[in-house]
Structure 1
Amino acid sequence: MGGRNSVLLAESYRDWWSLVGVDSLVGEAPAGWLDAPVANDVAAKPKSAPVAEPETPSLPAALQRREAPAEADAEGPVVFPDEWSAFQAWLAESAEVPGSQWDARRVLPQGQTEAPLMLLTAWPEVDDQRDGALFAGPAGPLLDAMLRAIGMTRGDCYLASLAVTRPPGGRCDDRDRGELDRLLWHHLGLAKPARLLLIGGDIVRMAANISLPDARGRLLDINQDGGKMEAVAVAHPAMLLARPAQKAAAWDSLKLFSQGR
């Protein structure tokens, strides 16, 4: 190839390289001649700020979890008061109470020591936490009906939850469970009820080392200070409202108390 066509072809190559920024054959440093300038690089342009998602409506104030006071670092096992009135005041006020760390609102026991029947659950339900009393909300009337079926009322009973506040999601870890186990036996030792009604699967596992279904229709012997305390176990009334089919199992256990045992 030669002549004028070769000249035109060479000029075409030269003009193309000039357009892409090549103005010399060699340089002191490598150059990316075909890289797009930053000003024209779409990928290098700052991205627009993400659009904020709409805020989720907050829960009513009565149902919002309140932060409990920060716990002090434990130096050893908590010492539980040995006198009844001091123990009740300690449950209401002390930052050392196991299970008081989950919420600032405490749900305290109701009733007196040596009651004919103690009703014990693991921790308050959401309605209890809101109202500041155990077995509140729709579960309350059902509990009252269950007590009437065995010839009793709330006024005859000592009502307590092992923990005075509700853990997140209704579950606690092994470390908290260990301290609650110590509190369980101390509380029972001071309360000295004639009989014990365990309410809910969590407290049944802690106090009797048995699952709630396996406790159906069984009179449980709870060892306490070398003696035995008669106990039966039922599902929490809130659970019975949600699953009415479980009411039969609750009655199979409750009727052990109604038979004069």
Structure 2
Amino acid sequence: MGGPNTALLAQSTCDWWSLAGVDALVGEEPAGWLILPPANDAAASKPKTRPSLAAEPELAPLPPALQRQEAPHAVEAKGPVVFPDDWTQFQQWFAEGADVPGSQWDARRVLPVGDVGAPLMLLTAWPEIDDQRDGALFSGAAGKLLDAMLQAIGRTRGDCYVASLAVTRPAGGRCDGEEAAELDRLLWHHLRLAKPGRLLLIGGDIVRMAASTALPDARGKLLYINQDGGKVEAVAVAHPAMLLARPAQKAAAWDSLKLFNRGR
């Protein structure tokens, strides 16, 4: 071998080994020349341990609405509402009692007017929108029409006990389910205490509840409502507000009303 580059190649090789830390060709102890020597301090002499992970910061609690809620305890079912048996107490409870069926739909109650044992009881299912606003049953133009209907059979409102089954109006003028069942109980209790001589059912809802029939089927018929071991004569008419909107139905109302004039 030989040539002009041989010396340069040898010099380059020596330089590489010198940079790698090889400063002698032989030694008495093997040495790892490419391993970095330990630092010359006390910490370096300690065995190396795996570094611990930094503790994660605590998360802020969730808003109450997003927190898991405990399962509610079983609520003991309430029994049926107990209705007062005394007339005066019943009227006071009707006006103020928190558990009166049909009082939950509006803050303002529309209360009955009249006395126990009236010769004629006017009964509707619940107040109309105008009644709820004015705080009195059969208000406005509908009330004037009702007064004319009563006059036609020789009566005035002052002679009557005027009431609604519910003292407030349900949304949409409808109720069903448990609410309707409680109102049904209240209906018969109210009639038993009121002791009316006769009963004028006003509107399709109360006719269905009290007489178990549809208003058109009750036209011109004397109905008998079983009450407290006896029977109360009743007739059914459309609500005066309906008669104002549909005057053609006034004839059907008169066919029923004139039954009260029989035997007079």
Report the TM-score, using the length of structure 1 for normalisation: 0.71
Query: What SS does the aligned partner of 1:238 have?
Result: helix
Residue matched to 1:185: 188
Higher deviation after alignment, 116-125 or 73-82: 73-82
Aligned: 1:82 with 2:85: yes
Aligned: 1:244 with 2:247: yes
Give the counterpart letter for 2:170 in structure 1.
Answer: P
Shift of 1:74: 6.1
Residue matched to 1:147: 150
Residue matched to 2:231: 228
Inter-partner Cα distance in structure 1 for 2:151 and 2:107: 33
Inter-partner Cα distance in structure 2 for 1:228 and 1:102: 32
**Gaps spanning 5+ residues in structure 2: where?**
1-74
Aligned: 1:171 with 2:174: yes
Residue matched to 2:259: 256
Give the counterpart letter for 2:105 in structure 1.
Answer: W
Residue matched to 2:10: none
Residue matched to 2:101: 98
Residue matched to 1:116: 119
Inter-partner Cα distance in structure 2 for 1:79 and 1:141: 36
Aligned: 1:134 with 2:120: no
Shift of 1:223: 0.1
**Structure 1 residues 145-180: Cα deviation after superposition (integer angstroms, max 9, x where no partner):** 000000000000000000000000000022111000
Inter-partner Cα distance in structure 1 for 2:95 and 2:101: 12
Taking structure 1 as reference, are residues 73 and 170 closer, same or farther at Cα in structure 2, changes over 3 Å only?
Answer: farther
**Gaps spanning 5+ residues in structure 1: where?**
1-71
Shift of 1:238: 0.3
Inter-partner Cα distance in structure 1 for 2:103 and 2:76: 14
Give the counterpart letter for 1:231 in structure 2.
Answer: A
Query: What SS does the aligned partner of 1:197 have?
Result: strand
Give the counterpart letter for 2:179 in structure 1.
Answer: D
Query: What SS does the aligned partner of 2:81 have?
Result: coil
Taking structure 1 as reference, are residues 118 and 255 closer, same or farther at Cα in structure 2, changes over 3 Å only?
Answer: same
Shift of 1:260: 3.1
Inter-partner Cα distance in structure 1 for 2:242 and 2:76: 36
Identity of aligned residues (%): 81
Inter-partner Cα distance in structure 2 for 1:245 and 1:260: 28
Query: What SS does the aligned partner of 2:209 have?
Result: helix
Query: What SS does the aligned partner of 1:138 have?
Result: helix
Give the counterpart letter for 2:84 in structure 1.
Answer: P
Query: What SS does the aligned partner of 1:160 have?
Result: strand
Residue matched to 1:49: none
Inter-partner Cα distance in structure 2 for 1:199 and 1:235: 6
Residue matched to 1:216: 219
Taking structure 1 as reference, are residues 187 and 73 closer, same or farther at Cα in structure 2, changes over 3 Å only?
Answer: farther
CA contact (8 A) 1:208 1:220 kept: yes
**Which protein shows a greater Rg?**
2
What is the number of residues matched between the two proteins? 190
Shift of 1:259: 2.4
Shift of 1:73: 8.4
**Structure 1 residues 79-119: Cα deviation after superposition (integer angstroms, max 9, x where no partner):** 00000010000000011000000000100000000000000
Give the counterpart letter for 1:177 in structure 2.
Answer: A
Shift of 1:185: 0.2
